[in-house]
Amino acid sequence: MRTHYDALIIGAGIVGAACASELAQAGLHVAVVEQEIVGGGTTAAGMGHIVVMDGSLPELVLTSYSQQLWAELLAERPADHEHLACGTLWVAADAEELAEAQAKQARYSAHGIASRLVAAAELYALEPLLRPGLAGGLLVPSDSVIYPPRSAALLIERARNHGAQVISAAVCALRPSGVLLADGQTLTAEAVILAGGIRSQALAPELPLRAKQGHLAITERYPHIIRQQLVELGYIKSAHASSGDSVAFNVQPRPTGQLLIGSSRQFDRSERSVDQAMLAQMLRRAVEYMPALAQLTVIRAWTGLRPATPDGLPLIGPAWQRPGVWLATGHEGLGITTALGTAKLLAAQLLGHSAPIPAAPYLPARFDKETAHG
């Protein structure tokens, strides 16, 4: 085994896997160090919705750019990623939310993202099981669904095909120009990329990350109950809240015919156990929007920890005050979508190429207190 690499990536979640694939394809000698299994962290707990989100302009730019990259990748082997081109139907409960749907449509249109306002009659033609009395919605056909741990494994496979090495080990400390493994071995690299999700903080305690726990539940197989991923427009408020617990109606059709039901957000819960009260609240919300769900059988529920930054944007670029260390973490609830854009941005910075989208909003240095305070 080599002990010196051009790029050493800590973590084989979807973000580390995407970085490994990108950097190995660029011709770098890459190693990925993973302490558990590929795609087994928050990536395994996520919903796999490849979704354009417009909570802020940088979020819109990164999600839509990443979605284009997913479309290119998925075109090669869609079935292997368990891809479903289902689109998103944002559901407006009342006139106020319909106005929000209109504003969202205008923002999408300004950025070249196709979407269509849907009146109440068409809403029920598209999804007959939604509860009566809803106002309409916004259909975004380019959104889709994948199976995240599978996609992480495929990205790692691609990295391996380009010479990357996957090392099964825990990194216990960052060292100048390398890392210290739990077995005492040191690996060195020109660039160390920290892509450890919520666990990145154990190696770099200065990172401004908080865990936002989320629950999901999956049903038995009920093919064709819904056709689009259905999300209430109130989800956006829930997703961007910086405190408090919240739930939102968010239901995804799986290629297996199962339904994946989300979603919840709770701050600073570091354990993965299911909070029965929160799960019940989340399922009640789903049934409020789609009463027929009450008849279905849920076979499993689980949680995952979203790595959240204070401004809701990921950390992509050089770590402050840690020469040779680069960050690719803090993707909160959008890391499946934004992994591919993250990898492109990181590679451009590492290789000194021009960035495909403006890199500034995601640079970790925005949280460097010393720079910020002069």
Ligand X SMILES: Cc1cc2nc3c(=O)[nH]c(=O)nc-3n(C[C@H](O)[C@H](O)[C@H](O)COP(=O)(O)OP(=O)(O)OC[C@H]3O[C@@H](n4cnc5c(N)ncnc54)[C@H](O)[C@@H]3O)c2cc1C
Shortest Cβ distance from residue 17 to ligand X (Å)? 7
Shortest Cβ distance from residue 315 to ligand X (Å)? 10
Closer CB to ligand X, residue 98 or residue 305? 305
Closer CB to ligand X, residue 43 or residue 219? 43
DSSP string, 156-181: HHHHHHTT-EEEE--EEEEETTEEEE
Shortest Cβ distance from residue 298 to ligand X (Å)? 15
The half-sphere exposure of 96 on its side-chain side, counting CA atoms within 13 A, is 1
Shortest Cβ distance from residue 53 to ligand X (Å)? 9
Shortest Cβ distance from residue 52 to ligand X (Å)? 11
300 alpha-carbon distance from chain centroid: 21
Backbone torsions φ then ψ of 178, nearest 5 degrees: 170, -160
Nearest to 34 by CA among 153, 163, 205: 153
Closer CB to ligand X, residue 135 or residue 198? 198
Closer CB to ligand X, residue 135 or residue 219? 219
Closer CB to ligand X, residue 172 or residue 355? 172
DSSP string, 62-112: HHHHHHHHHHHHHHH-GGGGT-B---EEEEE-SHHHHHHHHHHHHHHHHTT
C-alpha span between 41 and 39 (Å, rounded): 6
Give every CB contact of residue 21 below 8 A, 6+ residues apart in sequence.
155, 156, 158, 159, 162, 164, 343
Token match 């106005």: residue? 99
> Which positions lie near ligand X, rule CB under 6 A?
10-16, 33-36, 40-43, 45-49, 170-171, 195-197, 199, 203, 214, 216, 262-263, 304, 306, 329, 331-337
Closer CB to ligand X, residue 98 or residue 251? 251
Shortest Cβ distance from residue 45 to ligand X (Å)? 5
Helix then strand count (H, E) for the chain reads 11, 18
